[in-house]
Structure 1
Amino acid sequence: MRLRATVTAIVTLVITVAVMAGFAAPAQAAPGPRGCPKLYVLAIPGTWANNQNPGLLGAVTAGLGPETRVDYVGYDATAFPWEKAVYGKSKAQAVANTTGLAVTMLRRCPRTRIALTGYSQGADAAGDVASEIGTGRAGIRPGQVAGVVLLSDPRRSHDNNLVGPPLEGQGSGGPRRGGMGWLLPRAFTICEPRDLYCNVPRDFYVTRIAGYLAETSDPTPSQLGQYQAEAGAIVDELLRQGGLGKVTYELSNARARQQILAFDRFLNSGSHGNYQAFEVKPGVTAVAWARNFLAGLA
């Protein structure tokens, strides 16, 4: 009887282990659906660029390897009322399209990981998508995102992981509420120091208000908290400068003229389009760093 009990216990243990292994093995070893990439890079071009002409993102996403698929996110990519869409509406479209592409891929290929990159308005949108994921406000888990790299992000913050020389200013649109959340350790931003879209001095209040108005030109309901936070930050900072008299000065025609001239110098400098030459460290350009970062994620 003891021998039978011992044999029965051993057989039961073997069957149990086999059954457990049978359940566990497919989750670790079974291949994903055919055609699923290891890494899915969603690249959002800047204003006036498009899928056929993605601008500098073409160099950022070139030759990332056979295990990586790259899609350029299509959207209006405009900014002014006389174009297809004002900036706020155009960017909201980019955010929605990016999220839709990511969700569609993850439903078909749950083991694929997402990477986000963007330039200028595209960086604004990619950063918003990353922020929503990182702070738990999206239908995508932070663990499904391999990395984020933004170039000339108009909502760059001192809290972001900056690649390149230290900067005094922040993005013209104001920082994102909650930042990158859980994605912060693998989300990076690059900004040419002279680029006022991503490095506007904090005392350029007229410029910051213009950036705020661009961001809110077609308000997105999910971003209302962000809009309120940035408006409150501008007002608080102005009042801390010295009361209503200082507010009047900071918003005066003279100060506005200074900032208009500074912005004109910025536009003429070409710094916003200088990322293929701008070196984030000796011998490594911004575009090269961003490409190497994405290539290392697969």
Structure 2
Amino acid sequence: MKKILTVLLALIVVGFIGFGVLTWLGGRDTVDTPPPDAQPTGPVQPDWCPDVEVIAAPGTWESSAVDDPVNPTANPNALLLNVTRPLQDQYPADKVKVWTLPYTAQFKNAGSMDEMSYDDSRNEGITRLDEELKKTHGDCPLTDFIMIGFSQGAIIVGDTANQIGTGIGAVDAERVRGVALVADGRREAGVGQSVGTPVPGVGAEISLKPLNAAVQLVMPGATMRGPRPGGFGALDDRTVEICAPGDHICAAPIDVTDALERARNLIDHNGVHAQYAGNMAVFGTETTPEWLVRWTNNLINQAPAEPAAPPAGTDPAAGSGTVTSVPPIPQG
């Protein structure tokens, strides 16, 4: 009888040990194996989102606060229409979204005191651009951006790039493929990548900052703020500056003594500033809009840029910065 009890006790002990081993093995499998309905981590990009959004900021008197950002008509002669329309013709909207900044784009001065001041117009543009960046990024977190600005629009885009590049912008710098500033009034030698014919001088806001009080006599509410603190930060190598020789908006003298005359020149918008659509002196073999279309295509297709010489007959010593061009648009 004792033997039978001993055997039964042994079987019970072995059973408990076996049950414990099986429970441990089962628990280990539960920890190591994720549940079948586990969700992927990271941002999710809806199928309808574009790969890239191209944002264009027109210059003074080339936009309107109520303009259609997809089909702008405020000024049929706006420079950047020569860039945005070819891109819209080339790409479907679900691959590349082309959006033109609608803002007041005015410049109060002694000859048109009823217009919005430069400061207010610029701030309105920056606010609306930030809103668009935030909206697209909120809906489509993996969509990248390409930003292009002309004149007052270059100020707006450049200031936005400054904020993004220094870490306080609406989106992270990694979401921006490139920035192009045409006739930037805050252009500074050695900040960003100079392309095309080298030019001397600096942007008018830098040139006229020491004489800002005198500027107000001609352009009330047009603050000359000087250089952008921090430059373009993380976007410096992705930001190109384009300035035509003789354009005093982006190539003003560094030491200005006659503030009133220089301020009047800003209002007049000299012939060079108004001729980027056809001026061959910037790139030699193509116009600025043609160059911008190729540059944007290369960024959309992630083609690298390559260095090139300035147009024939130019003097590289006339300005500073790196002169670069872009390769032909990839085929196929």
Say if 1:39 and 1:297, in contact at 8 Å, map to a contact too: no
Structure ID, larger Rg = 2
Aligned to 1:283: 285
Unaligned runs of 5+ in 1: 211-255
Output the CA distance in 1 between the equivalents of 2:82 and 2:230.
31
Q: 1:35 aligns with which of 32, 44, 48?
A: 48
Query: Map of 1:103-142 to 2, 5 A cutoff?
Result: 103-142=134-173
Q: 2:252 aligns with which of 178, 192, 200?
A: 200
Deviation string 1:241-275 (CA, Å, 9 cap, x unpaired) is: xxxxxxxxxxxxxxx5xx589x49x855x100121
TM-score of the aligned structures, taking structure 2 as reference length: 0.64
Q: 1:48 aligns with which of 50, 61, 80?
A: 61
Aligned to 2:232: 180
Larger displacement relative to structure 2 (66-75 or 102-111): 66-75
2:205 maps to amino acid: G
SS in structure 2 at match of 1:138: coil
Say if 2:192 and 2:238, in contact at 8 Å, map to a contact too: no
Unaligned runs of 5+ in 2: 1-17, 64-71, 207-226, 301-332
SS in structure 1 at match of 2:136: helix
Residue 71 (structure 1) aligned with residue 99 (structure 2): yes
Deviation string 1:196-243 (CA, Å, 9 cap, x unpaired) is: 000001122444xx6xxxxxxxxxxxxxxxxxxxxxxxxxxxxxxxxx
**1:71 Cα deviation (Å)?**
1.1
Q: How many residues align?
A: 240
Say if 2:199 and 2:244, in contact at 8 Å, map to a contact too: no
SS in structure 2 at match of 1:40: strand
Say if 1:161 and 1:188, in contact at 8 Å, map to a contact too: yes
Residue 147 (structure 1) aligned with residue 147 (structure 2): no
- The 1:35–1:205 alpha-carbon spacing in structure 2 relative to 1, beyond 3 Å, is farther
Aligned to 1:223: none
Q: 1:292 aligns with which of 269, 291, 294?
A: 294
**1:189 Cα deviation (Å)?**
1.1
**1:63 Cα deviation (Å)?**
2.7
Output the CA distance in 1 between the equivalents of 2:269 and 2:152.
16
2:277 maps to amino acid: Q
Aligned-residue RMSD, C-alpha: 3.0
Aligned to 1:101: 132
Query: Map of 1:234-273 to 2, 5 A cutoff?
Result: 263=265, 267=269, 270-273=271-274
**1:62 Cα deviation (Å)?**
2.4
**1:277 Cα deviation (Å)?**
2.2
Aligned to 2:314: none
Output the CA distance in 2 between the equivalents of 1:172 and 1:288.
26
